[in-house]
Structure 1
Amino acid sequence: MRIDVLTLFPRMFEGPLTESILGKAIDKELLDVHVRNFRDFSTNKHQQVDDYPYGGGAGMLLKVQPIHDALTFIKEDARTQPRVILLDPAGKPFNQEMAEDFSEEEHLVFICGHYEGYDERIRSLVTDEVSLGDYVLTGGELGAMVMIDATVRLLPEVLGNDESAKTDSHSTGLLEHPQYTRPANYEGMEVPHVLTNGNHKLIAEWQLKESLRRTFLRRPDMLESLEMTKEMEKLLEEVKKEEKSI
Structure 2
Amino acid sequence: MKFHIMTLFPQIIEAYMSESIMKKAEEKGNIEYKTWNIRDYSESKHKKVDDYPYGGGAGMVMTPQPIVSCYNAVVDDLDESLKQDKKPKVIYLTPKGKVFNNDMAIALAKEESLILLCGHYEGVDQRVIDLIVDEEISIGDYVLTGGELPALILIDSISRHVKGVLGHEESLDEESFTNGLLEYPHYTRPEVFMEKEVPKVLLSGHHKNIESWRKLESIKLTMKLRPDLFDYEALSKEDKKLLKKHNVIDK
TM-score using structure 1 length = 0.92
Structure 1 unpaired stretches of 5+ = none
Cα distance in 1 for partners of 2:241, 2:248 equals 13
Distance 1:13 1:148 in 2: 10
Q: Give yes or no for contact 1:88–1:129 (8 Å, CA) kept in 2.
A: yes
Question: 1:185, 1:191 within 8 Å by CA — same for their partners in 2?
Answer: yes
Letter aligned with residue 165 of structure 2: V
Shift of 1:144: 0.9
1:99 aligns with 2:105: yes
Residue 226 of structure 1 deviates from its aligned partner by 7.2
Once the two structures are superposed, residues 139-165 of structure 1 have per-residue CA deviations (whole angstroms, 9 ceiling, x without a partner) of: 111111111111112211111111122
- Match for residue 216 of structure 1? 223
In structure 1, the partner of 2:200 is 193
- 2:92 aligned residue (86, 90, 96): 86
Partner of 2:150: 143
1:4 corresponds to which residue?
A: 4
1:23 aligns to what?
A: 23
* Alignment match, 2:33: 33
Separation of aligned partners in 1, 2:232 and 2:147: 30
| SS of equivalent residue, structure 1 residue 115 | coil
| SS of match in other structure, 2:15 | coil
RMSD after superposition: 1.9
- Structure 2 residues without counterparts, runs of 5 or longer: none
The question of 1:184 aligning with 2:191 is answered: yes
What do residues 157-197 of structure 1 show as CA deviations (whole Å, max 9, x unaligned)? Answer: 11111112221111221110112123333353222222222
Task: Pick from 209, 212, 215 the counterpart of residue 205 of structure 1.
Answer: 212
TM-score normalized with structure 2 length: 0.90
Contact 1:21–1:153 (8 Å) recurs in 2: no
Does the 8 A contact of 1:42 with 1:48 survive in 2?
Answer: yes
Look up the match of 2:68. 68
Is the 8 Å Cα contact of residues 173 and 226 (structure 1) preserved in structure 2? no
User: Which of 174, 177, 184 in structure 2 is aligned with 1:170?
Assistant: 177
What is the number of residues matched between the two proteins? 243
